[in-house]
Homo-oligomer: A and B are copies of this chain.
Amino acid sequence: MPAPSKAKAQPKTRIQKEKQDLILEAALNIFALNGYRGATIDQIAEAAGMSKPNLLYYFPSKEAIHRRLLTGMLDLWLDPLRELDDSGDPIAELRSYIRRKLEMARDFPRESRLFANEMLQGAPHAIDVLEGELKQLVDDKAKVITGWMDAGRINRTDPYHLIFSIWATTQHYADFDVQVRAVLGKARGGEGRFEDAARYLEHLFMDGLRPKAG
């Protein structure tokens, strides 16, 4: 029995990596659905098709699994913002940022909910990333956006709150999915809702509600 704790950091065999991925996949489902405390190792193990002690052979603790998922997804989460390009056309850049974020809400709803859960709890495991990497990145991109405003290429407004509102509106479709579906009903709550949302959000962020000709 060699220290299995090593296995977690860098999986040696391909089998180990496969099992770990299996566990992470199952854990993502359970955590996203029930929150950290609501999830049990037994549930995760069963979903991964193995026994609890077997799962604990690959990860030292429940918290370790959660930490892995969270750090993994934080990177994913930040990617779209990283792509916001200073040298591109402001309107097109922001439009495609909104689209990318909405696609993430559609394609990675479990990750989004995991993140939302963490935020609701006060980000006990992610606060340093928020105050470090995230803040840094947002500060950066806020400058880019401010530059566009200075050049008169988009209306002047608060770049930080602009980014917040893009986060909020897009993630809403993942985190509050039940509500969205319930309100839209069967007719409009199907697959098309993301298309509708994309069209709407684009219009909102670009032109707002007030008619141009006062």
- Interfacial residues, chain A to chain B (CB-CB below 8 A): 33-38, 91, 94, 113, 116-117, 119-123, 127, 130-131, 134-135, 138, 152-155, 157-158, 160-165, 167-169, 171-173, 175-176, 178-180, 182-185, 188, 196-197, 199-201, 203-212
Contacts and interface: CB of A to CB of B under 8 A. Distances in A.
- The SS class assigned to the A binding surface is helix
A93 to B, nearest CB: 11
11 contacts: A91-B210, A113-B120, A117-B120, A123-B182, A127-B178, A135-B183, A154-B210, A157-B203, A157-B209, A165-B204, A212-B212
A147 to B, nearest CB: 14
Contacts of A36: 38
Contact of A205 (B121, B204, B212): B204
Contacts of A179: 119, 123, 130, 134
B211 A208 contact: no
Given A127-B178, A165-B201, 15 more contacts: A34-B37, A119-B176, A123-B182, A130-B178, A134-B182, A135-B183, A138-B183, A153-B211, A157-B200, A157-B203, A161-B196, A164-B172, A165-B200, A168-B171, A204-B204
Contacts of A152: 211
Counting chain B CB atoms within 10 Å of each CB, the highest count among A94, A161, A173, A205 belongs to A161
A199 B157 CA distance: 9
